[in-house]
Amino acid sequence: MGTDRTPTSPWPRLRQVLGDEMLAELLGIDQQALLGYATASAATPEQLSAKLEVLSLTVAELSGSYNDFGIRRWLFRPRAVLGGQPPAALLAGEWDAASSSSKKLCSLVDTLAGMGAT
């Protein structure tokens, strides 16, 4: 993604923008686990950390063009370039930062951020 705006801990910003319920859904975890990871009472697994980082960068990039409501809507709005799937679908299932899903999401965000977003 274009600009590196990675915060020290992505949990507070993501919880603020997305809320615990939506964030847990996007990460594929339950809210109890989210609270444990977010409060550092449990170590965040490596695979989840990779997904969290991509989601954090996505939210950071979109923050320049969208408010919090717009970011939430953007994540769940079907996109023709994704075969009618919403960007959130790219976060589902097993996760690898080098996966095609991760690359598609980053590419889509870069394209939209460069256009002033849509």
Query: Domain residues for 100?
Result: 10-114
Domains in the chain: how many in total?
Answer: 1
pLDDT of residue 8: 66
Predicted structure pTM score: 0.80
Average pLDDT for runs of 10 along the chain of length 118: 54 96 94 93 86 90 92 94 90 75 80 60
- Does residue 5 lie in a domain region? no
In a domain, 38, yes or no: yes
2 in a structural domain:
no
- Which positions ≥6 away from 89 have C-beta within 8 Å? 82
Would 108 be classed as within a structural domain? yes
The answer to the question of residue 15 being in a domain is yes
CB 91 within 8 A of CB 106: no
104 in any annotated domain = yes
pLDDT number for residue 7: 41
Kindly state whether residue 1 falls inside one of the protein's structural domains: no
CA angle at 11 for the pair 22 and 95, rounded to the nearest 5°: 65
Phi-psi category of residue 99: left, alpha or beta, with phi > 0 → left and psi -120 to 50 → alpha: beta
The pLDDT assigned to 111 comes to 80
